[in-house]
Amino acid sequence: MSVSGEKLKDELDAFSSSGWYLYVVETARGALYTGITTDVNRRFEEHQNGKRGARSLRGKGPLRLLHHQPLGSRSEALKVEAWLKKQSASAKRAWLEGQDASS
């Protein structure tokens, strides 16, 4: 699911702050960044603002949140994140398309 701006805020406000989430961000040049967090809205804003966001995303904006999903426990989120980070860019995009189709 690709969202931006106020629509992103509205959608993410519906998420509970409990539990862990996987998210995928795309940079302006099309690079993908995968991470986990307990608060997708806060973490995406940190990435956009650059101060507490991942160094690899600094200066790479505008950023776009491509996907986010609840995974429950931190352990489960770490496992899925590690798996996804090992995938090639084309495999990640195929996985994302499959996730969007099943939503």
Span 62-76, pLDDT tens digits: 999 999 999 989 999
Q: Which pLDDT score, from 0 to 100, does residue 9 have? A: 53
pLDDT above 90 for 28: yes
Q: Which pLDDT score, from 0 to 100, does residue 58 have? A: 87
21 burial type by CB count under 10 A (0-12 exposed, 13-18 middle, 19+ buried): buried
Q: Three-state SS for 42?
A: helix
Place of tokens 């406000």: 13
pLDDT above 50 for 17: no
Q: Which pLDDT score, from 0 to 100, does residue 60 have? A: 87
Please give the domain boundaries of the chain with CATH numbers for all domains. Answer: 5-96 (3.40.1440)
DSSP-H helix ranges across the chain: 5-13, 40-49, 74-85, 89-102
pLDDT above 60 for 4: no
Q: Which pLDDT score, from 0 to 100, does residue 102 have? A: 65
pLDDT above 50 for 95: yes
Higher-confidence residue of 82 and 60: namely 82
